Structure 1
Amino acid sequence: MQIETLKDVLHWTKDFHQHLSRCLTHCADKNTDERARMILAYLSEQEKSLTKVVNSFETSGDEHALNTWCYEYVNKQPIVQHVHCDAPFSNLDATQIMEVIVDQHQQVIELYRYLASRADIPSTQEMLASLLSLEEHEMMRMVHSANRFRDM
């Protein structure tokens, strides 16, 4: 996907969360570890939720912010590629699953942080700050919930 505007970044982020949700769902039934299956099912639902929230930014966000060009920023800070489900989560334990999820989300967070640091337009700064906060808080919530699964 060619990334040129902030709207493209949001579309990519929505696809990222959607793909991750599908992969987690696909692998949940195949994992032999009960705790890992529970975490995979939980994370899949969280990714579906994030897909919907990012979609709302994409469909109802400020047009000026959405049309902000960011391709030169993306060239300097490349967008993380989707991890294929060829090496599925079904082969990982709960700790390994969370390591992969945190790493992938951290890359999205770093992208938003980078774009926010370069944004000049107030509406773009505001949108990126909101997206950055959303991604950071959702990742913290997922980690916290996964830790509760570990305590079970």
Structure 2
Amino acid sequence: MQIETLKDVLHWTKEFHQHLSQCLFHCANKNLDERARMMLTYLSEHEKTLKDVVSGFEKSGEASALKTWCYEYVNRHPITRHAHCDTPFAELNASQIMDVIIEQHQQVIELYRYLASRAEIPSAMELLNSLLSLEEHEMMRIVQSSNRFSDL
């Protein structure tokens, strides 16, 4: 996918969460560790919810913000599609699953952080800061939830 504008970034983020949700769901019943299966199911639902939230931003975002160019970051820091299903979550334990999830979400957070720091249009800055805040808070929530799974 060619990413040039903030709308493209939102679309990519929506696809990121959707793909991750599907991959987590696909692997959930194949993992032999009960704790990991529960975590995969929870994370799959969580990613589906994030996809819906980002989709809302994509649909309701201010047109001038969505048309803001952002290819500079993408050219210097290519966004790689995750290869989770090439190394299935079914083969990972709960801790390894969280390591992969955190690393992938960190990539999205860094993208939003950089774009927000470079935004010149107030509506684009506001949109990016909202998305950055969403991703950071959801990451904290995921980590807290994973700690609860560890206590089981």
TM-score, scaled relative to structure 1: 0.98
Long gaps (5+) in structure 1: none
1:80-99 to 2 correspondences below 5 Å: 80-99=80-99
Structure 1 CA distance for aligned equivalents of residues 138 and 55 of structure 2: 15
Structure 1 CA distance for aligned equivalents of residues 80 and 142 of structure 2: 20
State the shift of 1:83 in Å.
1.9
| Backbone CA RMSD of aligned residues | 0.8
- Structure 1 stretches of 4+ with a deviation exceeding 4 A read none
Aligned to 2:118: 118
1:41-120 to 2 correspondences below 5 Å: 41-120=41-120
TM-score, scaled relative to structure 2: 0.98
Structure 2 CA distance for aligned equivalents of residues 104 and 35 of structure 1: 21
Structure 1 CA distance for aligned equivalents of residues 137 and 144 of structure 2: 10
The alpha-carbon distance between structure 1 residues 144 and 84, as it changes in their structure 2 partners (threshold 3 A), is closer
Identical amino acids, percent of aligned pairs:
73
State the shift of 1:84 in Å.
4.2
Structure 1 CA distance for aligned equivalents of residues 82 and 62 of structure 2: 27
**Aligned partners of 1:80 and 1:108 also within 8 Å:** no
Aligned pair count reads 152
- The one-character-per-residue Cα deviations of 1:56-112 (angstroms, maximum 9, x if unpaired) are 000111100000011122212222322241210000000000000000000110010
1:28 equivalenced with 2:19 (yes/no):
no
Aligned to 1:148: 148
Give the secondary-structure state (helix, strand or coil) at the position aligned to 1:82.
Answer: coil
Long gaps (5+) in structure 2: none
